[in-house]
Structure 1
Amino acid sequence: MPRKLIKVTPSRVATWLDCPRRYRMAYVDRPTPPRGGAFAHSTLGAVVHNALRAFFDLPVRRRTPEAAHALVGQHWKDDGFAGPGQAATYRELAAGWVADYVGEIDVTDDPIGLERWVSAPIGSIVAEGRVDRIDERDGELVIVDYKTGRSALTTDDARASQALALYVLAARRTLRRPCTRVELHHLPSGTVAAWEHTEESLTRHRTRAEEAAEEFTLATDTLNAGGDQDVLFPPRVGRQCSWCDFRRSCPEGQAAGPAAEPWALLARADEVADEVKG
């Protein structure tokens, strides 16, 4: 019998590599253990993504910085922030980032995809996921990923991103067009980190994803056959335990350090400005 292909999303692979126990709780355990509350940086990222999607859904004549600014307010949520005052500060910061961003790019071209789901068999896996934006430039697809984290990003970040590489592989099979370029658009700093993949670099990313898929599939199958969950899905402790969704269900994670405040990972405007100047 032909071997069944394993469905792989970037988040699934990243979770396995980050912490096998967290992978088990997120993807294997049923019912899923209770998750922690919302984090402000996640709320902020979701708002910016939703506002930009809505922006590019507008007719071209209405794609103005003022419209982008207003869309952040329309999509805003206060989840995870310290209070209304902090939430209002970041609402205005985010609105300014988005307005400045659309003011610097060509908004007259309609993207090929917005929050587009792509999926395609690649080797021993089915690579799939939701891409923030897919542009077409000079007959080739470009994968665009929005970022709102604390630090500006580099070419090395774009080159090393397995998520972007998997999106390239899936998008060019799904949409049947050439695709090698990936871009990380960091809105707080207004910078773009880009990389042109080669077939060799894409193969390396695909191979690592295949290896991870084989590992978590074997661990899951062995668990279902009666294996020890703590041996098959050990915790991998570190500073990430401070903001793990499943911290309350993981004694090792709790012992690794204190829980982070829900707003601890927010990008601060002064930090971003200093980093760009440096």
Structure 2
Amino acid sequence: MEQLGFDFGSAPKRLVRVTPAKLATWTDCPRRYRMAYLDRPSPPRGGAWAHNTLGAVVHNALKALFDLPVEKRTPEQAVALVNRQWKSEGFRDVDQAAEYRNRACGWVHDYVAELDVTIEPLGVERWVSSPTQKIVAEGRVDRIDLRDGELVIVDYKTGRHALTVDDARGSQALALYALAARRTLRKPCRRVELHHLPTGEVAVWEHTEESLARHVTRAEEAADELDLAAETLKAGGNPEILFPPNTGRQCTWCDFRRSCPEGQQAAPSLDPWALLAP
């Protein structure tokens, strides 16, 4: 007699959890991805970069500002928060640190002076997450506003270069944040903004379903690649073949430069303050 069987179909494929930082690291250099996310213990990293310290201080000050009651969200209070959050890691000396501390205070003062501080963001440094067909896209958003019934993704920038609409449109991170925010907070989200504090400029892009889908497709393709490499490594694959170095100018500021001979040969070393705006 024929045995009765049950066909429940193939098991669903495991979704790969990714953040924009992971995807960007993989695309930038597979070896750096392995060192950052897979190697245990992870190789030693380089020291602090002054531009990263500066960015972190500004982000932390603006986060703390929205923790205050509305009446205390003044430009002067924002400056006080910069001073309270200040760190000097990566700067050349106390004079250079003092110069950029003053710059940061000026940026934040002017930004808050033009900001509608009565708004209550739906998220400040908010973690958001959303599954797609192949991945779980997640990450921490600087600020999520609610305007006219729709979510707006706000990303603070303190880099040396001014930003354009193309930067906002092409940012995979912002697109994935928009997708994850609308899933997490159950509201529509299409608009993404880059707020460049040194210039006071805001780069804006309004996504469509098609443009978001293109970003998701590229993210899923990269996630497939990095997941396959990681699983093959677990099975005994050769790390040098699975995670080759992608050398270039970016090797100059790689955190794992000291552990990568190819990177050392590809680009010269820089002082920790070299990437500050002149």
Same fold (TM over 0.5): yes
> 2:93, 2:184 → 1: CA distance?
43
Match of 1:212 in 2: 222
TM-score (norm 2): 0.96
Shift of 1:105: 1.4
2:152 aligns with 142
Partner of residue 58, structure 1: 68
Determine which of 92, 110, 131 is the counterpart of 1:121.
131
5 Å-filtered alignment, 1:74-223, equals: 74-223=84-233
Cα-to-partner distance string for 1:143-187 (whole Å, 9 max, x where unaligned): 000000001100000000000000001000000000000000000
Percent of residue pairs identical: 72
| Corresponding letter in the other structure for 2:253 | W
1:181-216 CA deviation, whole Å, 9 max, x = no partner?
000000000000000000000000000000000000
Shift of 1:226: 1.5
Q: With structure 1 as the length reference, what TM-score do the two structures score?
A: 0.96
- C-alpha offsets along residues 218-248 of structure 1, whole Å, 9 cap, x if unaligned? 0111111111111110100111101100000
Residues 223-242 of structure 1: matches in 2 within 5 Å?
223-242=233-252
1:17-46 per-position Cα deviation (integer Å, ceiling 9, x unaligned): 000000000011111000000000000000
Amino acid at match of 1:113: G
Pairing 1:6–2:13 present: no
- 1:40 is aligned, of 40, 44, 50, to 50
For 2:66, what is the secondary structure of its paired residue? helix
Asked if structure 2 preserves the Cα contact closer than 8 Å seen for 1:241 and 1:256, the reply is: yes
Q: What's the offset of the Cα at 1:115?
A: 0.2
Larger radius of gyration: 2
Give the root-mean-square deviation of aligned CA atoms: 0.6
Task: Give distance in 1, aligned partners of 2:19 and 2:209.
Answer: 20
CA–CA separation in structure 1 for the residues paired with 2:185 and 2:226: 29
Gaps of 5+ in 1: 269-278
8 Å CA contact 1:181–1:195 kept in 2: the answer is yes
Residue deviations 1:51-79 (CA, integer Å, cap 9, x gap): 00001111111111100111100000000
Note the C-alpha offset of 1:117: 0.3
Which runs of structure 1 show a deviation greater than 4 angstroms over 4 or more consecutive aligned residues?
none
What runs of 5+ residues in structure 2 fail to find an aligned partner? 1-10
> 2:254 aligns to what?
244
The answer on 1:259 being equivalent to 2:269 is yes
SS of the counterpart of 1:54? helix
Q: Is the 8 A contact 1:112 1:134 kept in 2?
A: yes
